[in-house]
């Protein structure tokens, strides 16, 4: 039985650990669409419409950054995202300057 489990783990690779469908973020420009999607999804969950996404991106050492803005209720809301270069997207951090989110 242990042999079957070992073969199954090898056959499915990272799928056994939940990374099969996760993207790896390798450069700051890859983080921009993820950041937008994550920020917008938090508003969608509250049934709030967002508009006019703008963003800039950069990296510092092994960390990738996005500084973005969403228009919500007529105001610009700052959105910041960061992740280690080469990390799976699930490890990204999203900060939204809106206490309602």
Q: Which residue has the higher pLDDT, 101 or 17?
A: 101
CA distance 52 to 85: 27
Predicted TM-score (pTM) of this structure: 0.79
Residue 81's nearest CA partner among 91, 21, 18, 62 is: 91
Q: Which residue has the higher pLDDT, 8 or 37?
A: 37
Only one residue has tokens 């073969």, namely 7
- For the chain, the distance separating the N- and C-terminal CA atoms, rounded to the nearest angstrom, is 48
Give me the pLDDT at residue 101, please.
86
Task: Assess contact for 67 and 80: CB atoms under 8 A.
Answer: yes
Give me the pLDDT at residue 45, please.
96
Q: Which residue has the higher pLDDT, 100 or 81?
A: 81
Instruction: Tell me the pLDDT tens digit for each residue of 13-68.
Output: 444 455 556 799 999 999 999 999 999 999 999 999 999 999 999 999 999 999 99
């Amino acid at each position: 039985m242990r042999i079957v489990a070992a073969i199954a783990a090898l056959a499915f690779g990272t799928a056994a650990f939940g990374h099969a469908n996760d993207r790896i973020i390798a450069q700051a420009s890859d983080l921009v669409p993820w950041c937008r999607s994550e920020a917008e999804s938090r508003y969608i969950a509250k049934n709030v419409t967002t508009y006019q996404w703008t963003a800039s991106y950069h990296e510092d050492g092994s960390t990738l950054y996005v500084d973005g803005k969403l228009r919500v209720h007529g105001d610009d809301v700052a959105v910041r995202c960061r992740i280690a270069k080469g990390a799976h997207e699930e490890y990204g951090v999203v900060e939204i300057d809106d206490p309602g989110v």
